[in-house]
């Protein structure tokens, strides 16, 4: 008779002592960092089993090799120390300090802003050739912003990044599209390099640098756009978009002889690239977090028919993607994205009036 034994989080932590004796290289790693690795593993499997239980796509946890494991964490105040003697750096607004890390030594750190509150964790993260120290701090509840008397519905799109219900637009920066040729050249150069060579390592760094620049540009734009929206509006209404469904490849089409027919896959691939370049989910997440701090309300509504209904009379006005103008028999004439934004705002008001308010700010 066999007996199954589940090795839990605390049992694995206790075994670290024996593992360090058998593997001397682990002696060079701080104990708190090793314990956090076990905690990450536990969370990864907890999330996996939660997805299985909820009927979602499970996504089995993937082994993080040396080229994929790009961060480690000190989960409490032990194992690191900030040097109190701070010196101004050459760049304005940045202070240079020394950060002492257990088992590693002292490294120079450039603080781009003051650390507020109580530091709970410290994570050292690598992005390409750059290393960052990320402090997670616990601070008190901030004072809410002054109440705004403006509300807005927002239609996220590709031709315009966002159309607001008041008729304003946020232009699409298209950072990936602008850097696409340079990135393609870097990836082609990488594919020609011999695996394991120094030149290949340099080519990998060039590709990583291109991706990093695009990500930083997009993140900077999203932070500025979300801050402007939260500062100006009290109620912000978005469509509850499922980007994963929007970017699905079209199904293959076959005739009676089994020959594949054109299905618009090429055009859909270009549209998917623009959708993913926009990063709508990141923007809505940033707005939700900033809104929670500012005392604003963020509402997500069902996107069904928001591009076809009239915001004035509610009639269905069928339009192809190529049609960018909304014209209804009730007399409303306006940009189709602005019409959708007005409709989204009205749907948000309806949800708030009946008490169903799926908001990321408070959920």
pLDDT tens-digit readout, 66-121: 778 899 999 887 889 887 655 555 556 678 889 999 999 999 888 888 888 888 99
In sequence order, what are the residues at sequence separation of 6 or more whose Cβ sits closer than 8 angstroms to the Cβ of residue 162? 154, 155, 156, 169, 170, 225, 283
pLDDT of the residue at 361: 44
Q: Percentage of the chain surpassing pLDDT 70?
A: 93
pLDDT of the residue at 332: 85
Q: Closest Cα partner for 102 from 27, 175, 47?
A: 27
Query: Where are the domains positioned within the chain?
Result: 9-53, 71-138, 151-354
Give the DSSP per-residue string, 186-200: HHHHHHTSPTT-HHH
Predicted confidence (pLDDT) at residue 3 exceeds the cutoff of 70: no
Average pLDDT taken over every residue of the chain = 86
Global confidence as pTM: 0.80
pLDDT of the residue at 121: 92
- pLDDT per residue over 254-295, tens digit each? 777 878 878 777 777 777 888 888 889 999 999 999 999 898
Higher per-residue confidence, 307 vs 299: 299
Q: Closest Cα partner for 264 from 246, 255, 252?
A: 252
Predicted confidence (pLDDT) at residue 315 exceeds the cutoff of 80: yes
At residue 1 the predicted structure's pLDDT band, cuts being 50, 70 and 90, is very low
Q: How many other CB atoms sit within 10 Å of the CB of residue 311? A: 23
pLDDT of the residue at 143: 77
């Amino acid at each position: 008779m066999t007996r199954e034994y589940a090795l839990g989080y605390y049992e694995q932590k206790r075994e670290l002592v024996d593992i360090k004796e058998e593997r001397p290289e682990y002696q060079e790693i701080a104990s708190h960092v090793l314990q956090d690795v076990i905690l990450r593993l536990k969370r990864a499997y907890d999330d996996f089993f939660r997805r299985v239980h909820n009927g979602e796509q499970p996504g089995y946890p993937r082994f993080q090799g040396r080229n994929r494991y790009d961060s480690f964490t000190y989960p409490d105040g032990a194992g690191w120390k900030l040097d109190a003697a701070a010196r101004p750096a050459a760049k304005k607004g940045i202070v240079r300090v020394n950060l002492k890390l257990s088992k590693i030594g002292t490294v120079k750190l450039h603080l781009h802003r003051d650390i507020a509150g109580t530091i709970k964790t410290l994570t050292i993260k690598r992005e390409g050739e750059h290393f960052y120290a990320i402090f997670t701090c616990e601070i008190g509840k901030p004072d809410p912003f002054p109440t705004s008397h403006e509300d807005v519905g927002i239609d996220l799109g590709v031709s315009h990044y966002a159309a607001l219900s008041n008729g304003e637009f946020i232009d699409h920066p298209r950072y990936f599209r602008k850097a696409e040729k340079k990135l393609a050249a870097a990836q082609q150069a990488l594919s020609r390099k011999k695996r394991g060579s120094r030149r290949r390592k340099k080519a990998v760094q060039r590709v990583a640098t291109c991706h990093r620049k695009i990500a930083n540009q997009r993140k900077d734009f999203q932070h500025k756009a979300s801050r402007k929206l939260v500062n100006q509006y009290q109620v912000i209404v978005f469509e509850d978009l499922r980007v994963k469904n929007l970017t699905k490849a079209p199904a293959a089409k076959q005739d009676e002889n089994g020959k594949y027919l054109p299905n618009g896959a090429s055009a859909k691939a270009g549209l998917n690239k623009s959708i993913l370049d926009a990063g709508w989910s990141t923007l809505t997440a940033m707005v939700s977090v900033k809104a929670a701090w500012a005392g604003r309300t963020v509402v997500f509504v069902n996107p069904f028919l928001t591009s076809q209904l009239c915001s004035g009379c509610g009639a269905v006005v069928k339009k192809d993607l190529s049609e960018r103008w909304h014209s209804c028999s009730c007399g409303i004439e306006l940009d189709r994205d602005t019409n959708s934004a007005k409709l989204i705002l009205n749907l948000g008001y309806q949800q708030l009036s009946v008490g169903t308010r799926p908001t990321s700010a408070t959920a």
